[in-house]
Chains A and B, each alone.
Chain A
Amino acid sequence: MYAYDELDRTLLNERVAEFRDQVKRRLSGELTEDEFKMLRLQNGVYLQLHAYMFRVAIPYGTLSSKQLRRLAHIARKYDRGYGHFTTRQNIQYNWIKLAELPDALADLAEVGIHSMQTSGNNTRNVTSDQWAGVVPGEVEDPRIWSEILRQYTTLHPEFSFLPRKFKFAITASAHDRAAIKIHDIGLRLHRNAQGEVGFEVLVGGGLGRTPFIAKTINPFVHGRDLLSYVEAILRVYNRYGRRDNIYKARIKILVHELGSEKFAAEVDKEWRAMGETALTLDDGVIEEIRSRFTYPAYEKLPHMPEELKKAAADPLFERWRRNSVFTHKVQGYAIVTVSLKPVGAPPGDATAEQMDALADLADKYSFGEIRVGHEQNLALPHVPKRDLPALWKALDEIGLATPNVNLVSDIIACPGLDYCSLANARSIPIAQELTRRFANPDTAELIGRLHINISGCINACGHHHVGHIGILGVEKNGEEFYQITIGGRADENAELGMLIGPAVPFGEVADVIEDVVEAYLALRERPDELFVDTVKRLGVQPFKERVYATR
């Protein structure tokens, strides 16, 4: 965990006081909505269909049990008893009142949580691998660098009014769980031949109406130069990014229009012109941040404890263990993914009661720590293996032990037209219906890894372009229709999905998806050839033929 110090706390309190004043001026009419809108967005406050929506940052996806309890408290006191975990390590509340927001922010600030820059045309919450610091084979804990970037980007005096929003993601593993290739800046931590730590820097990824996979503009930027290099990128973007057309304002368009080589050259020129800069991170500064991340005092535990051997006789436990328990870097411990995708429920939602109960379980079994992943699931990052059976029982009691992690019903979905003022079509009911269709865990296990992503409009908050199966809601003559793509992926081999056929109406989506899955089962070479690999091998055509033959 990262421990806030007095300075971090002071800044948060100052921010809360500022926003309290801004809300007061808005409610009194001193600020127009036009003036206030940007200020509220910079504090994570949107206006949605039914009410204001409040987005709170969970930097690099790490939460303490105390913080999670406070998120539950916000849901209970200021909202309707639940929250929605998003694809960018945030939590959203759907029914917040503007007049009460300053109090909610003050409550959050007490535990070191904030909503700064969770929306607006500035640098957003810095996201990272939800398994950072616990997964085997990592170069080093990417959260140290995430925190350095979090501080650097918070209330930046030069880059708080960029042409458009700007998102960072960092990974330090060969397998990318942070989806860095669909971010404005993706950073892959690695070592050079001298063993020094640095970053491959990718720029210009993003989804929305013009999706792009990020391009590498520098294979190795030394760790000490991370901030100066990032500042050079942001300055080039701030200066040249398009401001004439909101749909062309993201950095991906600038990178695309200039070409990544030209863009890289501009960045390099700016970076060199900076010369000696106070942004250079010396070892002491990095050490200072590193020292404020604390790690559990792990015990020496057996690889295969008796409790686990005994529980293996229970097929339900075994199914959950196979599905939701992952290898930890320390022997005798495990990472447990907590599915927020129970059958028939809105993906990523959790009630205040579930959050409180999970906080208690984290205290009991995971050194008081919880993680949030971009797949809209949570994780307990340090569970002693001997406690897995007891944890499973406890999770099951609160509806958080659905063994569907990475399977067909582990659906990523945006809030869609049920909540969102931008949406053209609903997302959640489609997800709910699909989880019912694929509710049988044997079938889901047989199908294997399969990511379905649903967005209710072209803004692509559900990342439909990079779903193995992507579903995009559109409006046709006042009716909800859905375009279906296959073959996308968000990991280190990120690709955009391909359209499989004409859009289908709301009532037919689940049938079509079932047919796509049927086609895959018939077409796959071996049981362990994943859906996305079958699409890669065969292309869209055989799927199209099978799915649309009778339509």
Chain B
Amino acid sequence: MPLVKNGNTATDIFVHVADGAELPGDGAVLVSAARFLADTEALVKRAGKLGVIWPNNRDLDDLVPYLERLAVVALVFPTFRDGRAYSQARLLRERYGYEGELRATGQVLRDQFMFMLRAGFDALEAKKQSDVEAFALTSRRYSVFYQPTGDGRLTALHRRMQQRQSESAG
């Protein structure tokens, strides 16, 4: 699956390790939530980066204690209509201060890129190569945002307030 990270096409260095399969001795791996929770200690002590695929119907509480030791949290869009992972993403970034890679996986399409970026995703596992190519255009499509999220973009309200203040100061 093509990966866009921080706006650029990237090679995915993480090896997806199936639940029953043997872990490679080193190197970056991505495991399921079930495997992570069953074998947390061994996984976090292992050499090599660790990523976890977290389902969208699972509470984040079980994941939060380990956030500092994770290089990737991959959240899942089973269909593009299912928006639960947007909430998980914002909570991970804004409430729990997660700073590693936050990856969108599953039905990840161009027309949802902007929402994903605003929710805190910095890596998108796009379904279609053509969507990867359209990333630059898509991510610049909007310049005005009404809601504050943790992505740092100024909201329309704040820009208006700034404008007012500079007008009254001038």
Contact = CB atoms under 8 A, between A and B. Distances in A.
Given A7-B160, A273-B95, A288-B157, A161 B83 contact: yes
A419 to B, nearest CB: 25
A279 B141 CA distance: 24
A156 B111 contact: no
Nearest to A9: B144
Contact of A159 (B83, B112, B148, B161): B83
A402 B156 CA distance: 44
A154 B143 CA distance: 14
Given A7-B156, A151-B156, A239-B87, A158 B149 contact: yes
B130 A160 contact: no
Contacts of B90: 157-158
Interface string B133-160: 0000000011111111100000111011
Nearest to A35: B109
B98 interface: no
B146 A155 contact: yes
Which residue among A14, A151, A158, A279 has the maximum number of chain B CB atoms within 10 Å of its CB? A158
Given A14-B143, A279-B148, A5 B83 contact: no
Given A152-B147, A156-B147, A238-B83, A11 B142 contact: yes
A110 interface: no
Contacts of B144: 7-8, 10-11, 14
A144 interface: no
Contact of A243 (B82, B119, B145): B82
B86 A285 contact: no
Contacts of A160: 83, 86, 115
Given A157-B119, A238-B86, A152 B111 contact: no
A138 B142 CA distance: 37
A154 B118 CA distance: 14
B80 interface: yes
A152 B86 CA distance: 16
A511 interface: no
B141 A158 contact: no
Contacts of B83: 158-162, 238
Interface in A318-336: none
A353 B84 CA distance: 46
A288 B146 contact: no
A449 B20 CA distance: 70
A18 interface: yes
B80 A285 contact: no
Contacts of A156: 146-147
B81 A161 contact: yes
Contact of A288 (B84, B145, B147, B161): B161
B86 A161 contact: yes
Nearest to A285: B157
B114 interface: yes
Interface in A108-163: 121, 151-152, 154-162
Nearest to B78: A243
B69 interface: no
Contacts of A279: 148
Interface string A1-24: 000010110110010011000100
B80 A38 contact: yes
B164 interface: yes
B84 A18 contact: no
Contacts of B147: 152, 156-157
23 contacts: A11-B144, A11-B146, A18-B141, A35-B80, A38-B80, A38-B81, A39-B111, A151-B157, A155-B115, A156-B146, A156-B147, A157-B86, A157-B114, A157-B118, A158-B86, A158-B90, A159-B83, A161-B81, A161-B112, A161-B115, A243-B84, A273-B95, A288-B164
5 nearest interchain CB pairs?
Answer: A161-B83, A157-B118, A278-B148, A11-B144, A151-B146
